[in-house]
Amino acid sequence: MRKTIKEILRQGKELAGETVDVKGWVRTRRGNKNVQFVALNDGSSIHNLQIVFDTEKFPEEILKSITTGSSLHVKGKLVESQGAGQSVEVLAEDLEIYGTAPADYPLQKKGHSMEFLREKAHLRPRTNTFGAVLRIRHALAYAVHKFFNDKGFFYFHTPLISSSDCEGAGAQFQVTTLPLSDIPKNEDGSVDYSKDFFGKMASLTVSGQLEGELGATALGLIYTFGPTFRAENSNTPRHLSEFWMIEPEMAFYEIEDNMDLAEEFIKYCVNYVLEHCYDDIKFLNDHFDHELIERLNFVVSNDFVRLPYTEGIKILEESGKKFEFPVHWGVDLASEHERYLVEEHFKKPVILTDYPKEIKAFYMKLNDDGKTVRAMDVLFPKIGEIIGGSQREENYDKLSARINEMGLEGMDWYLDTRKYGTVPHSGFGLGFERLVQFVTGMQNIRDVIPFPRYPKACEY
């Protein structure tokens, strides 16, 4: 029976003497006129299985067609390996070639640049690096569900097509079936959305939070985990136009409970991959980022610093650093400020709280000072903001005043959670790709999702 290479290598010498049946893609072939060695990988693990071909048994013209990238089915005896580098290998007895790969196969050599691989994104999952990243991504997604399920949270599905544009989190992509070359207009020249598919303007969601609050004020503890879309022109290594977000929302949680949960959650996820994906993490550590494992261990074993925004600003002002964007009370922090606090000042993850209300969303709970809101951003080394969250305003009058002040319309459904049986509640949003980026040490967020979307890039 066929086994994955991961399973064969796990059992290792226990299988010595047995016939194994493996299938996979050729990474390399080398050797001499007596014997040829093929490194076979089937995606189950970062490690390859070495297949040994005796040239007396397999004629040269057949072995020559086993090029890098071709796909094979091999049966043979598993034996302890003579060579260094692997403990077991397979002495090939039967060979079936599913498909050869001509010499123009783009992934010939090791060490292609990330930029080159981005242009070959349809094939890059076959490289060691992307294999490792994608296996880790899977494990993280599983850890997210496991963490929340084990804590009694319910996975709540919020819509991807939304008619509310009140999150204020970012520009939205519009969803329409109106003919773009002949858009129906009202008398005043505005678009007549009554003719559109939904009879009104609709967009792709930038966040599931507002709908998530409806879930939390009924089920108590919920989380969302789905794609979100932002049409902002952010060409940075930390922004995508389509990314996945995890948004827990908790009834009866104050801001401190929210911070405790965020910290526990991130540590759980990092621990999970250290435990379950060590080989992949080690590969990335050895090949790209020699401090990766150290950084991950550091994050799970240290308390995050908790600091009010006002004190953070003081530290930045007194740092004597020349920032590209000048800093004073009231500014939204740029990545350089966040990273100064985390990487240079505290040398630890920081949870920054109590931001000025002007730079935060309308739904955040106002503090007694009337100037700041109960926001919390979790700031991480290398990444900057990894989580944004807050305690929500649960007071009907304060919230509706704020909604009017901002000129937001069509929010009655949201205000109903405060009108009927309102409760203190909190939540946060974690950008899944930023978490994958942190855990893998990848420099660019475009390299932690199989098919990245960003301005002027929408392939496949």
Chain residues binding ligand ATP by CB under 6 A are 169-170, 230, 234, 239-240, 243, 245, 385-388, 429-431, 433-434, 445
Residue whose beta carbon is closest to Mn ion: 388
Nearest Cα to 433, choosing from 418, 449, 419, 422?
Answer: 449
Minimum distance, C-beta of residue 387 to Mn ion, in the bound complex (Å): 8
- Provide the minimum distance between the beta carbon of 52 and ligand ATP in the complex, in angstroms, as a whole number: 46
User: Closer to ligand ATP at the Cβ: 71 or 234?
Assistant: 234
Span near Mn ion by CB under 5 A; candidates 351-359, 383-391, 392-400, 401-409: 383-391
Distance CA 116, CA 40 (A): 23
Q: Are 234 and 206 in contact (CB under 8 A)?
A: no
Q: How far apart are CA 115 and CA 4, in angstroms?
A: 31
Helices (H), 243-332: 255-276, 278-287, 292-301, 309-318
Instruction: Report the nearest approach of ligand ATP to the CB of residue 143 (Å).
Output: 17
Beta carbon nearer to Mn ion, 381 or 388: 388
**Read out DSSP for 315-329?**
HHHHT----SS---T
Task: Answer with the entry of ligand ATP, Mn ion, none that 229 interacts with (C-beta below 5 to 8 A by kind).
Answer: none
What is the footprint of Mn ion within residues 384-423 (CB under 5 A)? Answer: 388
Specify the residue, 277 or 449, whose C-beta has the smaller distance to ligand ATP: 449
Residue number, 8 or 366, with CB nearest to Mn ion: 366
387 binds, among ligand ATP, Mn ion, none (CB under 5 to 8 A by kind): ligand ATP
Decide which of ligand ATP, Mn ion, none touches 431; Cβ closer than 5 to 8 Å per partner kind.
ligand ATP
How many helices (H) and strands (E) the chain has is answered by: 13, 16
Choice between 139 and 387, CB closer to Mn ion: 387
> Which of 130-138, 312-320, 333-341, 381-389 is the region at the interface with Mn ion (rule: CB under 5 A)?
381-389
Q: What is the DSSP letter of 4?
A: -
Residue 243 binding partner per list ligand ATP, Mn ion, none, with a CB distance cut-off of 5 to 8 Å that depends on partner kind: ligand ATP
Task: Report DSSP letters for 202-253, one per residue.
Answer: EEE-S-SHHHHHHHHHHHSEEEEEEEEE------STT--SEEEEEEEEEET-
By a kind-dependent CB cut-off of 5 to 8 A, residue 341 interacts, out of ligand ATP, Mn ion, none, with none
Q: Minimum Å distance from CB 385 to Mn ion?
A: 5
Q: Name the strands in the sheet holding 384-391, side by side, starting at the edge strand that comes first in the sequence.
A: 154-155, 221-229, 242-251, 425-431, 384-391, 372-380, 350-356, 305-308
The entry of Mn ion, ligand ATP, none near residue 141 (CB within 5 to 8 angstroms by kind) is: none
Which of Mn ion, ligand ATP, none interacts with 434 (beta carbon under 5 to 8 A by kind)? Answer: ligand ATP
Shortest approach of ligand ATP to residue 242 CB, angstroms? 8
Radius of gyration for the chain, computed over Cα atoms and rounded to the nearest angstrom:
27
117 vs 386 by CB, closer to ligand ATP:
386
Give the nearer residue to ligand ATP in terms of CB position, either 27 or 230.
230
Classified as helix, coil or strand, 354 is strand
Q: DSSP letters of 62-117?
A: HHHT--TT-EEEEEEEEEE-SSTT-SEEEEEEEEEEEE---TT-S--SS---HHHH
- Give the separation between CA 3 and CA 5, rounded to whole angstroms: 6
Amino acid at 181: S
Structure tokens at 323: 């920032």
Smallest distance, Å, CB 244 to ligand ATP?
8
Q: Which is nearer to ligand ATP, 221 or 240 (CB)?
A: 240
CB of 388 to Mn ion, least distance (A): 3
Give the shortest CB-377-to-Mn ion separation in angstroms. 6
Beta carbon nearer to ligand ATP, 170 or 226: 170
* Residues in the chain, overall count: 460
* Residue 433 site contact among Mn ion, ligand ATP, none (CB < 5 to 8 Å, cut-off depends on kind): ligand ATP
Minimum CB separation of residue 73 from ligand ATP in Å reads: 40
Instruction: Compute the distance between CA of residue 216 and CA of residue 276 in angstroms, rounded to an integer.
Output: 31
**Closer CB to ligand ATP, 76 or 208, in the complex:** 208
Q: Which is nearer to ligand ATP, 17 or 168 (CB)?
A: 168
Q: Are strands 49-54 and 35-41 parallel, antiparallel or unpaired?
A: antiparallel
Q: How far apart are CA 72 and CA 62, in angstroms?
A: 12
Which residues, in sequence order, are bridge partners of residue 96?
A: 73
Min CB(385)–ligand ATP separation in Å: 4
**Least distance CB 286 / ligand ATP (angstroms):** 27
Q: Determine phi and psi for 200, rounding to 5 degrees.
A: -160, 170
Per CB under 5 A, residues contacting Mn ion are 388
